[in-house]
Structure 1
Amino acid sequence: MTTQYGGTVNEKKPQLAVNIGGLAMKNPVATASGTFGFGSEYAPYIDLNLLGALVVKGITLQPRAGNSTPRLVETTAGILNSIGLQNPGVEVFIEKLLPALAEYDLPVIVNIAGDTVQDYGKLAARLDCARGVAGLEVNISCPNVKKGGMQFGSDPAMAAEVTRAVRAGTDKPVIVKLSPNVTSIVDVAEKVARAGADGLSMINTLLGMAIDVKKRRPVLGNVMGGLSGPAVKPVAVRAVWQVYREVKLPIIGMGGIVTAQDAVEFILAGATAVAVGTANFVNPRATMDVLEGITRYMIENGVRNINELVGAAHR
């Protein structure tokens, strides 16, 4: 049967399983760190077991209170955030938050961040022996902290050094999250690949700011923050396209994904999996809508295996 997309319906259920550097996912839809809490917050709205992977919010060695308020402001087609990696610290996460995720059948990826290279190595080693952690996402790209974060991700040599420290501390899959706030994202990707990364997450937020014209002052307490949402999608798709052509690592693509069509764009550009972020704030079921839409797209276009679509726009 011909469909509105011009394809034909394949009645067999398509194969959705993907692999990110040794981390097996039942489907390509994950959550973007910092937009889904620690998972349990969204359990009343969706069945977490249906996710391809759960990426929890950023974890540091010690608890962090985060930045001063205001921390969030809506912008045209997106939001600016300056949370500042507020989190309870790795020990509280392991002891009190991680066990609650054991009841779900999905890989848990922990986003880690630090002020120093040594911080990243210590976090990797501590989480390596934590039951229930499937992989690590290395945050070297957060734009709203004063130390670490984007300072590491904007320097290819430093990005590689952090990656080596994490690689030395764990046998779990290491996925490095890249910043778009660089001259050449391909250069950074190449360096972390040589340093031992198993995969890439891209992109993190773009650095931006907003000014209150009545008060004549910056809106955010931290002045600048990270721009996310649909406004950044063209930048993110371009970055995935460029890195896919030059670096042979699987990519989790993200940045402005709201619909299944958005997700398929990333996959065609070279992403093996995708992460839904800001859309979760508007629609708590956004991940499920994207997953259902990808499945429908594959059926209507006669695609048997999701991996057939990865990078297909390059061919």
Structure 2
Amino acid sequence: MSESISQFFIKLENWKFQQFNPQVGIINPETHAYAIEFFPENRSKSMNLETFHTLLQDPRVSQIQALICQIEYENYYNDNVCFGIVLEALCDACEKLPNLKALFIGDAEQHEYRKSKLAVFDIRPILEAFPNLQLLKVRGQFYEYPLECEFLKHENLKTLIIETADIDERNFAQICALKLPNIECIELWLGRGLYHLHNSTFIMDRLIPILFGETFPNLAYLGLRSSEFSDLLAENIVQSPIIERLLVLDLSMGNLSDRGAEALLNCPAINQLHTLNIGNNCVSESMVQRLLQLNCQVIADEQESEVDRGCGASRYSALHE
């Protein structure tokens, strides 16, 4: 998100990052996002929650507005239980965090080109435990456990970011069916798990309520990133009513080709955007130059050829195992 457009959406960067130090305690709960690291204990299926419990005992804990829960894990030993342990501890502490507005929970590492194997248990408990939450960002894989959040309504959430390389059809449908009347910014990383020739219709059917403004009536930032069917997304988005009211359209890190870029270029409403992000895709240099003539900010860096990226036959997105 560019600096000028970010002021319109709530994001973690609205708070200064601060790793929680038990020796210092909570000093600036209104202006800093306090980060807690959760570590597994000796390759076991338990987590060290000591630092988190120390934070909860701080006299200013009730004033915290933003919290970052960074989960460390060891592949094959506990990647399927760590999230659930932290989730339970966090939700049990909800009464101590009445002013929490922004929450990150998930993989401590940001895997730019390698997918996270941290299994996300569910997001429903978070939304139920924190009714005043305005931002939720989750990082991990969304296929090992079925979500239980379909049709769940949350009145105050404004930003939802699902950062993943693996989400299955059922969990994708669950997220699309959330009732979020005040959501303004939604960013979904789609990854490889959704791309099969037989289910592209299923995926677009799940997106229809979003694209037609039925599910998220206040949406102004739509990010459908790391997709393996970016051309199809672009062609459907430009034909939907939502394009008339978006400020930001983010189709980055996928396999958008000149086909999808042409659909964007031929849509007059694209010029009403503040920002169009198609970075890290498969768009040719000549097409990029045409897109740069649009009357909006265009982010189009790090394009690869379709052969190098694998677009076409195998259609790999930017995230690799």
TM-score (normalised: structure 1): 0.36
**Greater gyration radius:** 2
- Structure holding more helix per residue: 1
The TM-score with structure 2 as length reference comes to: 0.35
